[in-house]
């Protein structure tokens, strides 16, 4: 199947492109390169354009009349920036997605949308299903839920069919090292640990040691980016069974189904890297939560997909990727 991947020059989009190719599908990338990495587009069909550029979309669909689906990864993704620049985030993520969806709904193209587990409200029960209450904590996460809601309305009104995949915490890199995360200003735990490992930062700050978890540190659900990419292939290949005329829209969590605390992750990193990480206990930052992990039943049942790769594998692949690019 030929598939348009928006944001295919980014961390997750480029990994999805590799998984598509490995499964004999053909990715066509549209990416403005606002944050993407041009080298991830090499030897691939690539259009440098904005997702809201209707002329570019017309050209792509005229050049490739056999595109059957869109995997929509393009977005601005930095939470602290979204707090400072909400207009930019609503414009780039929500308004521009609407233009893309309008184009797709006119031509009845299948849509798979990259959403996030950050849409869920934090609760004492840290396991979330697709029906758990929503309560996004940042403008970034609110743009994602706004896009999901628009997509559902488009499906109900215009005959569009779509699946929103809510990712938990992607880690690692393509195991064949074709792409991986950017090392610029990491805000997530693995990026921070890699910075310390490389001697760019001195100590790891644990934000909160009194959370209601088994060791008092916050909990997350880490999923290897290759597992995530493979879930998109399953969603694509079973799309027409999952969403139908009577049920044109679906939401599916993509996580490992297991919570890992900050301390457990730190220990796994030390074991894989062989490094001893200096840590400082500190209080939570504003907006921090105890965290959540996925109930993965819907993904298992609907996609026939289970993540296969461990946290240790994710850490090892990230270290390998870091060495390759630094
Ligand atoms: N990385 C995560 O932890 C995570 C977690 C949950 C959900 N997601 C979602 O997954 C998707 C991919 O995230 P990522 O981590 O790969 O981010 P990324 O920044 O690496 O990739 C985003 C890509 O989109 C491109 N882009 C942005 N706006 C564009 C526009 N208007 N037109 C064309 N291209 C545009 C960028 O140039 C970049 O290549 C995003 O939608 C994000 O919200 C990511």
Choosing among 3.40.50.720, 3.40.50.970, 3.40.50.80, 3.30.559.10, the CATH entry for 2-171+222-254 is 3.40.50.720
Report which of 48, 46, 44 is spatially closest to residue 25, judged by C-alpha positions: 44
Choosing among 3.30.56.10, 1.10.10.60, 2.60.120.10, 3.90.25.10, the CATH entry for 189-220+257-325 is 3.90.25.10
**Does 145 contact ligand 1 (Cβ within 6 A)?**
no
Instruction: Please give the pLDDT value at position 320.
Output: 96
Q: Which residue's alpha carbon is nearest to atom 11 within ligand 1? A: 73
Instruction: Please give the pLDDT value at position 107.
Output: 82
Cα(20)–Cα(53) distance, integer angstroms: 25
**Positions marked catalytic:** 140
Radius of gyration of the chain (CA): 19
**Does 29 contact ligand 1 (Cβ within 6 A)?**
no
Burial call 257-293: b when 16+ CB within 10 Å, e when fewer: bbbbbbbbbbebbeebbeeeeeeeeeeeeeeebbbbb
| Span 42-91, pLDDT tens digits | 999 999 999 999 999 999 999 999 999 999 999 999 998 999 999 999 99
Per domain, the residue ranges of the chain are 2-171+222-254, 189-220+257-325
Ranges of residues in the chain with a pLDDT under 50 are none
**Does 75 contact ligand 1 (Cβ within 6 A)?**
yes
Instruction: Please give the pLDDT value at position 116.
Output: 97
């Amino acid at each position: 199947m030929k598939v348009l991947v928006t944001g295919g020059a980014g961390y997750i989009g480029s990994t999805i492109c590799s998984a598509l190719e490995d499964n004999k599908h053909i990715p066509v990338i549209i990416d403005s390169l606002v944050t993407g990495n041009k080298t991830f587009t090499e030897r691939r069909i690539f259009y440098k354009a904005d997702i809201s550029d209707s002329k570019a979309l017309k050209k792509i669909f005229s050049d490739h009349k056999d595109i059957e689906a869109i995997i929509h990864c393009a977005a601005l993704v930095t939470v602290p920036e979204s707090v400072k620049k909400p207009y930019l985030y609503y414009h780039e993520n929500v308004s521009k997605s609407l233009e893309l969806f309008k184009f797709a709904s006119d031509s009845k193209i299948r849509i798979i949308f990259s959403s996030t587990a950050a849409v869920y409200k934090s609760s004492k029960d840290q396991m979330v299903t697709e029906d758990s209450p929503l309560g996004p904590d940042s403008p970034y996460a609110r743009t994602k839920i706004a896009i999901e809601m628009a997509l559902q309305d488009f499906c109900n009104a215009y005959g569009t069919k779509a699946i929103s995949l809510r990712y938990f915490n992607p880690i690692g890199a393509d195991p064949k090292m074709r792409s991986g995360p950017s090392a610029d200003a990491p805000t997530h735990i693995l990026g921070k640990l890699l910075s310390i490992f490389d001697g760019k930062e001195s100590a790891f700050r644990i934000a909160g040691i009194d959370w209601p978890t088994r060791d008092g540190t916050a909990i997350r659900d880490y999923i290897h980016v290759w597992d995530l990419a493979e879930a998109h292939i399953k969603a694509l290949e079973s799309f027409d069974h999952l969403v139908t005329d009577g049920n044109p829209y679906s939401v599916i969590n993509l996580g490992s189904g297991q919570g890992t605390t900050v301390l457990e992750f730190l220990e796994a990193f030390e074991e894989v890297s062989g490094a001893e990480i200096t840590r400082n206990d500190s209080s939570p930052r504003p907006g921090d939560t105890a965290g959540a992990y996925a109930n993965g039943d819907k993904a298992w049942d609907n996609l026939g997909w289970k993540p296969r790769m461990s946290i240790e594998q994710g850490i090892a692949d990230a270290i390998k990727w870091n060495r390759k690019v630094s």
